[in-house]
Structure 1
Amino acid sequence: MIVIVEVDPSDETALRAFWETEQAAIRADRPHALLRTWEALSNSVREPGPYYRRTLFAAREGEVTAGVAELGGSVEDNTHLADLEISVLPDRRREGIGRALYDEALRRCHAAGRTSVCGELHVPAGVEPATAGPYAFARAMGLEEVHVEDHLVLPLPVDDGHVAILRTGAEAKASDYEIITWGDTCPDEYVDAFCEMRTRMDSDVPIGEVDYEPVVFTQERLRTSETRLAQSYGSVVSAARRRRDGVFAGYSQVYVPRGEPDVLQDDTLVMPEHRGRRLGTLLKLATLGVLAEEYPASTSIHTWTDPDNHAMQRTNRDFGFRIVERMHEMQVKRG
C-alpha cells in the first residue's frame, strides 16, 4: 500500500531516495532535462535560506519510493503562492500516486494559507500538450495553463568563427558601452546598480497570468543569494555599462552546477532605454567567453524564453540555440 510521508532532510537514505526517484522519473520523459544535482538538493533543504522554504514528500510502498513531490514557497513575499512539482516513476503511473501526492501538498497549502499553486511541466517540441501525460494529469487536477516558455539548448563550445561574426556585428552598434564580468560575488561598487537591474528583471520578465507579485531585490537578498548559490553552483555575470557616465544598461547571468557539464542561462536583461543596440548579444558573448576559459568542460547551455519575446528569441537563434521542449506553467487558485 502506498503511504505519503514527509521526507526528513537529515535522513540521508530518505533524501537520496527522493533525489534518485525524481531523477529517474524526469529522465524517462525528458532527454534534454536540466536536472538539479544531489548537492543542490541537499544544500537547499538541509540549510534553508531566509526567503524560501521547501517541503519534500515521498510516496512509499515498503522500502520503495515510487513518486515524490516538492512544495515550496516564499516566506516574506507572495506568501499566497506555492510552487509544486510532482514526479512518479514510469512503471508506477496511473495508480493514483500522483493524485495522492497532489492531495497531500494541497492540504499543506490550505493549512499554510496559500491560495494559489503553480507547477511547471515540459512537453517535447512538436508534441501537442494535450497528448502528454504530465499535461493531462495537471488538467485532471484542475490546474489551468497560465504561461509558456520555450526550452532552448546550445551546444558548447560555440565555433570561434561564429563568435567573431556575432561580436563584430554587435560591437558596431554598441561602441558606447563596455562589458564587465564577475563571478560568484558582485563587486561592492556595482551592487546598487545590479540590484536595480535585478528588480527590473523581476518586473519585466513575462509570466503570463501567474499569480505573482514582483519583488524588490535588496543588497541583503543579493548577498544571501550569492552565498547560497556558491554552495552548489559557479556563477558568471556580465554587465553592460555606458562609457560616458557609467550607467548600467543590462546584465546576463549563468549558473554552472559544480562538476556537471550542463550550464543554466538565467536572466538576460537590457534596460528599456538601452535596447536596440545588440547589448543582449554582447552580454551573452561575454558569459560564453568566461565559460570557455573557466569552465571548459561545459558541453551545453540551457535557457528558457517566452515565445513572444521576439528580441531574445532572435538573439538565441543567432547563437545557434534550438528549441527542444516547451515549458507549461500550470496554476490553480483556491479560496
Structure 2
Amino acid sequence: MSLVVTPLELPERWDEPGPRGDAFRAFHAHAERSNAMRFGPDVVARSPEERLASLQPSLAEACRAFVAHRDGQLVGALKVYTPLLESTDVAEIVISAEPDLPDAEVLDLVEELTTHGEQVAAGLGRGDFRGGSLAAASGAVTAATGFGGVDPDHPEVAPLVARGYVLEQVYRISMVDLAALPDLDERLAAARAGAPGYDVVAWAGETPAPHRAGMCRLKEQMAADAPGGGVLFEPEVWDDARLADFEASAASGGRTIRTVAAVEGATGELVGFTSAFVGTSTVVNQQDTVVAGAHRGHGLGALMKLANLAELREHHPNHTRVVTWNAEENRPMLAVNEATGFVTVVHDGVWKRRSVS
C-alpha cells in the first residue's frame, strides 16, 4: 500500500482530547522511539509539553510537521523548518523512521518523505534544501569539509545521494556525565586562574538588562563564526525583540535556560557566553558557545563550560548528563569538550541540494 503523508494539526494542549490530541500524542511517541534508537535512551528525550512547544513558530523560524502512515500504521514523520528573517531560500528537511522498520522500508520512506519535503519547501518559495542522515567519524563518502563521512548504501543516505545531495558537514554528538567529574571544582579553579582579567556571571532564564546588548552582539558573532561548511546561513541581525522572542521560545514547554557569560574585568563588557537548556529529561542540552574574536586564546570557552557544569550541579542535581553538538571540523571546540570529559555518542550528516527549477 502506498505511503499516506498528512499534515500534523497541532492541538492547543498536548493532552487535548479528540483527533488533534490523539494525532499529536502518536507523533510524540514516535519521536521518542526514533530518537532513543538513534541517540540512545534519554539523550534527546522531551516531554509532550516540550515537543508541542518546539513545533510552534517563532519570530525567526517556522516548522511544518507531517506524519506518514502505511497500511494504517505510523511509520515515520517529516518536519520542514524554514528561516523567516535571514536565509529565506533555505528549507531544512528532517525525517524520522520507526525503529523496527526493515532497511528496505526505511530507504523507501526516506525517498518518499524527501520528495514530499522538497515539494512543501518549493511551495514556500524555497530552493536551498538541507537534509540529514546518520554519519560517522569517517566513511566512503567524505564530507566536503574533509571531516567525517557516511556509508553511501545506508538507507538514510542512499536516497540523498541518488537525488544529488552533497554531504557538506558532519556533526559529532557527545556527552559528559557529571558523576565522572569529581574534580570539577579543581578544574574550574584552574580555568579561572588561567584567565586573569576576566570573570564569569551566571543566570537562569532571561538575559539581565545590563547584558542584553552584549548578548545580541555575541549572538550575531555566533551566527557568523559557527563552522558551516557549504551550508552557511546569511548573517543574522539581533535586537532586543529578537532576543526576547528566542528566550521565550527556548523556555516554552517548561524548560529553563542556564547561561554563563565571560566578562572583561576592565570594561565590564560581555565577551563570551555558553547556554544550556534544562528540561524534564535528566540529560541537559548544551547549546551555543562563543567567545568574541579579540578575547580568544585565554581559555574562556573552557572556563564558561566548566562554570556552567558547576551551575547545573548546584541548581539541577538530578540532571546528571550534558549533551552537545559540534561540527567535526571545529577542532578547537572539540578539544575543549574532550578535555572537559565529553565522549562521542553518535554522528549526524548535514546535506545540501539546490533546486534546479
Shorter chain as denominator, the TM-score bin is over 0.9
Moved more, 275-284 or 28-37: 28-37
CA offsets per residue over residues 142-184 of structure 1, 9 Å max, x none?
A: 32111122111101245332x2342243222212111001111
Greater Cα shift, 97-106 or 19-28: 19-28
Deviation at 1:136, TM superposition (A): 2.7
Q: How does 1:234-253 map to 2 (within 5 A)?
A: 234-253=256-275
After superposition, give the CA deviation of every residue in 1:279-333 in whole Å (9 maximum; x if it has no partner).
1111012111110111111121111222332321221111111122222111111
Q: Deviations over 1:206-233 (max 9, x none)?
A: 0100052121122111101111221232
Distance 1:120 1:217, change over 3 A: farther
Distance in 2 (alpha carbons) for counterparts of 1:140 and 1:35: 32
Question: For 2:118, which of 76, 81, 106 is the aligned residue?
Answer: 106
1:69 corresponds to which letter in structure 2? L
- How big is the shift at 1:125? 5.5
Structure 2 unmatched ranges of 5 or more: 12-19, 141-149
Partner of 2:337: 316
Determine the structure 2 residue equivalent to 1:326.
347
Q: 2:110, 2:156 within 8 Å by CA — same for their partners in 1?
A: no
- Relative to structure 1, the CA distance from residue 63 to residue 21 in structure 2 (aligned partners, 3 Å threshold; closer, same or farther) is same
Within 5 Å, give how 1:82-97 maps onto structure 2: 82-89=91-98, 90-91=100-101, 93-95=103-105, 96-97=108-109
Partner of 1:228, secondary structure, is helix
Give the superposition deviation at 1:123.
Answer: 3.0
1:12 to 2, 21, 29: 21
Alpha-carbon contact 2:135-2:348 (below 8 Å) kept: yes
Deviations 1:185-243 (A, max 9, x none): 10111100111011101100101000521211221111011112212321110111111
Determine the C-alpha separation between the residues in 2 that align with 1:177 and 1:106.
48
Secondary structure of the residue aligned to 2:175 is strand
Deviation at 1:124, TM superposition (A): 5.3
Cα 1:261/1:127, change in 2 over 3 Å: farther
Within 2, Cα distance between the matches of 1:135 and 1:300? 30
> For the structure 1 residues 145 and 265, does the alpha-carbon distance in structure 2 shift closer, same or farther, using more than 3 Å as the test?
same
Q: Secondary structure at the match of 1:160?
A: coil
Q: Is the 8 A contact 1:264 1:301 kept in 2?
A: yes
* Corresponding position of 1:260: 281
Conserved in 1, the CA contact under 8 Å of 2:86 and 2:233?
no
TM-score (norm 2): 0.87
Aligned to 1:14, the other structure's residue is in SS state helix
Q: Corresponding residue for 1:155?
A: 177
In 2, distance between residues paired with 1:277 and 1:158?
25
TM normalised by structure 1 equals 0.92
RMSD (CA atoms):
2.0
Q: Structure 2 counterpart of 1:110, which letter? A: A
The alignment status of 1:136 with 2:158, answered yes or no, reads yes
- Rounded to whole Å, the distance in 2 between the matches of 1:182 and 1:221 is 19
1:127 Cα deviation (Å)? 6.8
Contact 2:59-2:242 at 8 Å conserved across structures = no
Gaps of 5+ in 1: none
Give the corresponding residue for 2:192. 171
Secondary structure in 1 aligned to 2:210? Answer: helix
Paired residue type of 1:101: L
Aligned to 2:76: 67
What corresponds to 2:14 in structure 1?
none
Q: 1:310 to 1:125 in 2, by over 3 A?
A: closer
How many residue pairs match? The answer is 332
The aligned amino acid for 2:51 is L
1:49 pairs with 2:70 = no
Deviation string 1:59-116 (CA, Å, 9 cap, x unpaired) is 1235421111001101222110001111122326524232222212111111111001
Q: Quote the Cα distance in structure 1 between the aligned partners of 2:190 and 2:6.
A: 56
Any conservation in 2 of the 1:124–1:324 contact (CA below 8 Å)?
Answer: no
Question: 1:179, 1:186 → 2: CA distance?
Answer: 14
